[in-house]
């Protein structure tokens, strides 16, 4: 670990954390673009994550629901990285997580829901694309319907997640930008930083004078903007970073 980074982190009072799929792989949830990623192993799977395809094709929707019915996230537990961030917040450091993940593991690790902005939504809720009624996803899956429809209006149901071709919630994104700009540090952990506009939070933070730290196995488009780039194991390095912050 770079001693200069640890020195700079020591005693920080406010930390923003942008997390991607890589922080949850140690919990048994596969990422998307890595060597064993969902889209690497099955490139056609991306079709089910495109809004136009999902809305137009019942078979695409069936593939999507089959994917999530057996998704590893239902059985996953927070790992050491999730827990370290929650414990740091519990120790009095203002931690705000801006996550691209939909698995809810940051909250299960102990972070208050209000301190986690789910940029791409949550797999734990399902919403009607017609009347916008919301339901617990477990309730929808328990129905056994392979292409569920809304019990209120008959509309197409979709996990409350952002698909390709769908805009992020403007209020959530605006709040995330404000957090990135107001924090002295932005730790980008386990994200390929290829999906916009979430990845552009790195630019927002750097332009506001924050120190950007990228922790990711592979190179990202934002490595040149980062003050520090770490290729270390996320489950090992994040607790170390958090310990440095907490060491006043």
- 175 annotated active-site: no
CA gap 102, 119 in Å, rounded: 8
Q: Which of 106, 120, 124, 175 is catalytic?
A: 120
Ordered DSSP codes for 109-170: TT--GGGEEETTEEEEEEEETTT--EEEHHHHHHT--SS-B-TTT-PBEEEEEPPBT-PPPH
Could you tell me whether strands 14-19 and 185-189 are parallel, antiparallel, or unpaired per DSSP bridges?
parallel
CA gap 238, 215 in Å, rounded: 8
| Catalytic residue list | 120
């Amino acid at each position: 670990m770079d001693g200069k980074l640890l020195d700079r982190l020591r005693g920080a009072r406010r930390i923003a954390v942008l997390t991607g799929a890589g922080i949850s792989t140690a919990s048994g949830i596969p990422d998307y673009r890595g060597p064993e990623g969902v889209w690497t192993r099955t490139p056609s799977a991306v079709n089910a994550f495109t809004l136009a395809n999902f809305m137009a094709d019942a078979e695409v929707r069936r593939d999507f629901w089959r994917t999530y019915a057996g998704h590893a996230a239902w059985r996953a537990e927070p790992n050491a990285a999730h827990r370290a961030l929650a414990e740091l917040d519990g120790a009095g450091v203002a931690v705000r997580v801006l996550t691209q993940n939909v698995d809810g593991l940051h909250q299960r690790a102990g972070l208050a829901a209000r301190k986690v902005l789910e940029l791409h939504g949550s797999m734990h809720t399902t919403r009607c694309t017609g009347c916008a009624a919301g339901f617990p996803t477990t309730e929808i899956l328990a129905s056994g319907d392979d292409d569920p429809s809304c019990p209120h209006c008959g509309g197409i149901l979709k996990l409350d997640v952002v698909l390709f071709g769908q805009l992020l919630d403007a209020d959530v994104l605006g709040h995330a930008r404000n957090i990135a700009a107001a924090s002295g540090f932005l730790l980008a952990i386990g994200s390929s930083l290829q999906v916009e506009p979430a990845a552009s939070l790195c630019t927002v933070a750097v332009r506001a004078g924050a120190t950007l730290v990228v922790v990711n196995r592979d190179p990202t488009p934002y490595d040149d903007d980062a003050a520090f780039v770490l290729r270390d194991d996320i489950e090992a390095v994040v607790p170390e970073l958090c310990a440095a912050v907490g060491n006043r």
